[in-house]
Structure 1
Amino acid sequence: MGNHLVKHGDGVKDIAFTVEDLDAIVAVAKQRGATIVKHILEAKDDCGRVRYAVIQTYGDTTHTLIERANYSGLFLPGYHTPLSKTHIFEKLPPVGFDFIDHCVGNQPEDAVESVTQWYEKSLSFHRFWSVDDTQVHTQYSALRSIVVTNYEETIKMPIIEPAQGLKKSPIQE
């Protein structure tokens, strides 16, 4: 993680997905050319077991695929309820956070198509929505985006790249 921070600054190194059939997903991804960073591993505790694998996506970013079907714990093996209770959350209004809606993958110029194709080929995602620089732009910058999603459309991954503008786009900054 230290090298990732030095190279990329503060950002996301790994995006984890809960999956139902880890063996099949890893086998298909591998057969279609995906790089498997960590082959299927297992972790367990008193609440059961999880199985997981890590695959390489674009750049230095990875996806951890986690199968939790045989696990009833709070999060993952080794995680426990905090020993001390804080009352601060009782004083704050509820957030209502249920799930992450989407996770954006910023790309260099002219990379959005190849990354989109990787998701389609390796993880069997499909294109959900797309926009180009004629639709998303300001006087100074623009971007192109293709949103890919899994079969159930529960995971949304907007893949975006800068487009030509008078100044650097927010992606480049």
Structure 2
Amino acid sequence: MSVKQLCYIGFHVPEKQQLAKNLVQKFGFELFAARVTAWSKQLALRRGAAVFVVNERLKAAREIPLMFSSSPYKDQIILYDADLEYAVSTASNICFEMENIPGISQSLQEQGCQMLIPPTNVADEGGCVTYAVVRSILGNINHTLLDRSQYCGPFLPGFHGVEGSSKDLKGAGEVTHFDHITYACPPGSSQEVLDWYKKCFGFQRFFVHQQDAAEGYSIQGAGMGLRLTAMHCNGSGLTQLDHDCKLVLAESLPQQRKNQVDTFLEQHGGAGIQHVALYTADIIRTAAAMAKSGANFVEPPLTYYNENGRAREIQLVGQDPDLLEHYGILLDSEVAGEGGNISPNPRGKQFLMQIFTKPLFAEDTFFLELIERCGAVGFGERNIRALWQAVQNYMDKQ
């Protein structure tokens, strides 16, 4: 049951929520396909290989006659996803491209998984796809299992292509793909989640830091209590770790003050997708263009750029400390990769740069991350601490 690749990440938002508009206007995504019916609106947006699908269940859907309530027709209000009518805006679906969807679905059912939508065929003039939807064991997260090997349309059957629906962010650096997806998890749940993904989809542990241990990588001190555990699934068509599907599990450690994971669990109504990292080949240009277009980023701790040796560290890897401080971008050159190894970099220097947006919804839940890697495949402790503190400072002010 090998995952070929991550196809898209799906949102469920209320009618007329501004997420799709903001992704285009502020973050430079292109609206390239849409499906609009009397009952729902589904918009597909992309930058590079990073694809979001925004699902809006329209008010008219509540007025569907009862005669349709038990028919397949009602199930098609939202295609390629299970509409659970969640109470708040949420990112809840991760679509995996796979083969033999009927066989995989049967195997998952035999393992006790809940199939929200059984294997279903959908076709139009572009060809045919097969999909199913399985519920994960964590929060409201579900997975669409999709085989579109026999389809050549603009996106998926039922969607029509859209042209000219993007905003040109002048000078923006390229966003190429999703780097990782982070889940906010209840305390003590990470191992069970890891085991489920390993059993169901063949995911394996990915060590985020050279001090990562079997139970995860714990960071404590100064009111911070966080455990990160990560896994990845290297798709059959992918050869580089930077392009595989990485899932990061974040949970609070006990006896710490209320933090952003706790806030997410409270305001989201349970576990779910906390943030998605977009990989960019030039984070300075990307962040600058997004900020100019109205994107809001959290501010790093005031002392971050003045810490002993920080400016020198930034200069040693060829970056400008003043420029990074101007845009609030964090840099960490002490980064380990899988198993503590570091990927080779032609320049002989390994580091990564990161920045977080403010939450995209009214609740302090989902946000985006920009990340640029220069030879580094893991995550740096100092960046984790600083990013965590930046988000925490913002939420404390709220």
In structure 1, the partner of 2:121 is: 42
Can you give the 5+ residue segments of structure 2 that lack an aligned partner in the other structure? 1-11, 15-83, 236-240, 264-398
Q: Between Structure 1 and Structure 2, how many residues are aligned?
A: 169
Percent identity, aligned pairs only, is 22
> Within the alignment, does 1:123 sit opposite 2:201 as a pair?
yes
Larger radius of gyration: 2
Equivalent residue in structure 1 for 2:184, among 95, 106, 110? 106
TM-score by length of 2: 0.39
Instruction: Report the CA distance shift for 1:128/1:110 in structure 2 as closer, same or farther (over 3 A).
Output: same
One-letter amino acid of the structure 1 residue matched with residue 233 of structure 2: N
In structure 2, the partner of 1:163 is: 253
Can you give the 5+ residue segments of structure 1 that lack an aligned partner in the other structure? none
The 8 Å contact of residues 216 and 229 in structure 2, kept in 1 or not, is answered as no
- Superposition RMSD on alpha carbons, in Å? 2.5
TM-score by length of 1: 0.83
Instruction: Report the CA distance shift for 1:120/1:67 in structure 2 as closer, same or farther (over 3 A).
Output: same
User: Residue by residue, what CA displacement relative to the aligned partner does 1:22-60 show, whole Å, maximum 9, x if unpaired?
Assistant: 233323322222111111011111111111100010122
User: Residue by residue, what CA displacement relative to the aligned partner does 1:89-144 show, whole Å, maximum 9, x if unpaired?
Assistant: 2x633452332121112111111111111111122222122546864345112221
Equivalent residue in structure 2 for 1:33, among 108, 112, 116? 112
One-letter amino acid of the structure 1 residue matched with residue 145 of structure 2: L
Q: Secondary structure at the match of 1:104?
A: strand
Equivalent residue in structure 1 for 2:151, among 71, 96, 111? 71
One-letter amino acid of the structure 2 residue matched with residue 19 of structure 1: M
One-letter amino acid of the structure 2 residue matched with residue 104 of structure 1: T
Instruction: Report the CA distance shift for 1:65/1:139 in structure 2 as closer, same or farther (over 3 A).
Output: same
The 8 Å contact of residues 142 and 164 in structure 1, kept in 2 or not, is answered as yes
Instruction: Report the CA distance shift for 1:134/1:20 in structure 2 as closer, same or farther (over 3 A).
Output: closer
State the alpha-carbon separation in 2 of the partners of residues 119 and 167 from structure 1.
30
Instruction: Report the CA distance shift for 1:134/1:22 in structure 2 as closer, same or farther (over 3 A).
Output: closer
More deviation, 142-151/63-72 = 142-151
